[in-house]
Amino acid sequence: MIPTAPFHFSYELAPSWPPLAWAALCENGSSSIPVIHGPSVERRQHWFCEAVWDGPFSEGNLDQTDIVFGSGARCRGDGATFVSSAATVDRLHLSVRGNRTFVSNSLPCLLAVIGARLDPAFRGYADLFLSVTRGLDDVPDLPIDEGAAVQFAYRTNLRWDGYQLHRVEKCGEPRNLSSFRDYVGFQRAALQRIGENMASPQRTRAYSWLGTISRGYDSPTCALLTREVGLRRVITIDESRPGVIDDGGDIALALGLTCVVVGRLAWTSQEPLEPLFLVADGQGKEIPIAGAAAELGQVVLVTGHGGDTAWSLESHKYANPGTYSGMSMAEYRLHVGFVHMPCPFIGWSQLSDIVNLSRSDEMMAWNFGGTYNRPICRRLLEEAGVPRGSFGVSKTGASIRFLRGEDAWSKKGRRAFLAWLHTRPSGYAVTPRLLIEARVNMLGLAVALRLQRRTRRFLANAFQRVGGVLTDRIKSQRLDDLAFVWAMQAVRQSYLLRHHDEIHERSPWSSTS
């Protein structure tokens, strides 16, 4: 029976949960929706969020726009709408357990509160998350125990009617993006409204801007656009690949921005961080951002993820595409306490209009041809005084690929993973032979990569070939999937322990795990 009473949230604080994590319980026939949350989630009678959007914060209308970053929910009389980010760098997770439906902005959090574990028979976690690039309608469910599954919601809202969740498109009126002036004006106006929202005095936790910048096209363009609404500080990773300089300090200087340089491997000096990044996408490529942890608290992080789709001239193979880059930060940001805002997703619902603009006669003077070409970005940056040749020369992308064998794990992370393997996790057939081969191959890969970077061309090529062989062995042993399982157990356990310690016995959550 669908409830006739107005829907409402009831809140329960988990003080030591990650600041921005939350989970909601929707029970059939009930108008009350319990929400357990970390300490920095904004809470009101009819809505909650860890988000910014292009409207007044006090009104809480995050469910009535397609320009929203982070997540939350809003009750409106006849139902409740759970709101996902406009960008595919974040998502909502849901699972049905009998007459209860659970929703969370964190995958390990969801598994913890429902007391579920991953299906040991499943293969290919990284490929599952990569499927978002083929279209949002093609993302498969994640199998868990007892034949159940976790579903994902990217760039779509979830409407609870008292009985089940329905996927609903985000609200957003068509905009005129037919000219450069129209498109840039639309971006600037949206960013201005977001800036007012995130700094609202009615927030219990206001945010400030923090940008990212490289020598490419996308992040400098985002930094430029956001500079006009208050961005003053950016971070840059010194290298995109070992020995490949990607420091965007000169561009930041040209834009009048303060730039903090972060070492590509600075994150390795901290406690093992691989789990927080692996649980989001199975690869953890954006882990270098953790080297700037001291800068990341209470900020809206402006990035260029998605620019290779929104601002390129290539036709789109899929009608409803997402982007894989940036996804690995989804769990980490909840723990550190920042909102991730990739500017290219502002206006994403009209991708075809943006691509047509890039191809238009108006933009021909900034169309340089080739495979790495962004006329909109080039025009914006050159008209802002950034010297031609200092950006957009080649695409590299700062990332760590320790599951592809292009980079080694951190020493602490490798030791922690191998120690977990030695516990012989139930259901995963970790044999003594696998333990020995994993240790030898992972250590051998770390040595080969180190020697490859420290020797001249002939020897470097030889060590590269050795690294390739070891990488193939590591993949054949299914260590990439086992690394995801390890990461999930590590992050999930922190939610599980805190859940039992902090939630009152009479809470509706007490019977879920």
| 173: CB partners within 8 A, 6+ apart | none
**Alpha-carbon distance values, 257 to 70, 211, 344, 384 (Å):** 25, 9, 20, 13
pLDDT digit string (tens) for the chain, length 513 residues: 555 568 999 999 999 899 999 999 999 999 999 999 999 999 999 999 999 999 999 999 999 999 999 999 999 988 999 999 999 999 999 999 999 999 999 999 999 999 999 999 999 998 999 999 888 888 999 999 888 999 999 999 999 999 999 999 999 889 999 999 999 999 999 999 999 999 999 999 999 999 999 988 899 999 999 999 999 999 999 877 666 677 888 999 999 999 999 998 899 888 899 999 999 999 898 999 999 999 999 999 999 999 989 998 875 555 567 788 899 999 999 999 999 999 999 999 999 999 999 999 999 999 987 778 899 999 999 999 988 877 766 666 667 776 666 677 888 998 999 999 999 998 898 899 989 988 888 888 888 877 877 777 777 778 778 777 877 787 778 888 999 999 999 999 888 755 455 554 445 665 554
CB atoms within 10 A of CB 261: 15
Query: Any alpha helices (H) in 306-431, and if so which ranges?
Result: 307-310, 330-336, 351-359, 375-383, 411-421
CATH class in words for 8-171: alpha beta
Enumerate the β-bridge partners of residue 301.
210, 340
Helix/strand/coil for 186: helix
d(CA 204, CA 181) in angstroms, rounded, equals 36
One-letter amino acid at 306 equals: G
The two three-digit tokens of residue 468, written as one number: 């390739």
Is the Cα torsion angle 404, 405, 408, 409 positive or negative in sign? positive
CB atoms within 10 A of CB 432: 9
Question: Contact 209/199 with Cβ under 8 angstroms?
Answer: no
pTM of the model: 0.93
**Selection from 168, 7, 12 nearest residue 92 by Cα:** 168
**Selection from 92, 99, 129, 95 nearest residue 115 by Cα:** 95
d(CA 225, CA 221) in angstroms, rounded, equals 6
The two three-digit tokens of residue 319, written as one number: 């009608």
d(CA 206, CA 300) in angstroms, rounded, equals 10
Question: Contact 289/283 with Cβ under 8 angstroms?
Answer: no
Alpha carbon 266 to its chain centroid, in Å, reads 20
For the chain, what percentages of helix, strand and coil (3-state, to nearest 5) are there?
A: 40, 20, 40
**Eight-state DSSP code of residue 316:** P
d(CA 401, CA 404) in angstroms, rounded, equals 5
**Cα-based angle 275, 278, 284 (whole degrees, multiple of 5):** 120
Query: Any alpha helices (H) in 282-349, and if so which ranges?
Result: 293-296, 307-310, 330-336
**Selection from 49, 61, 65, 69 nearest residue 344 by Cα:** 69
CATH class in words for 180-383: alpha beta
Task: Please tell me the total number of residues recorded for the chain in this structure.
Answer: 513
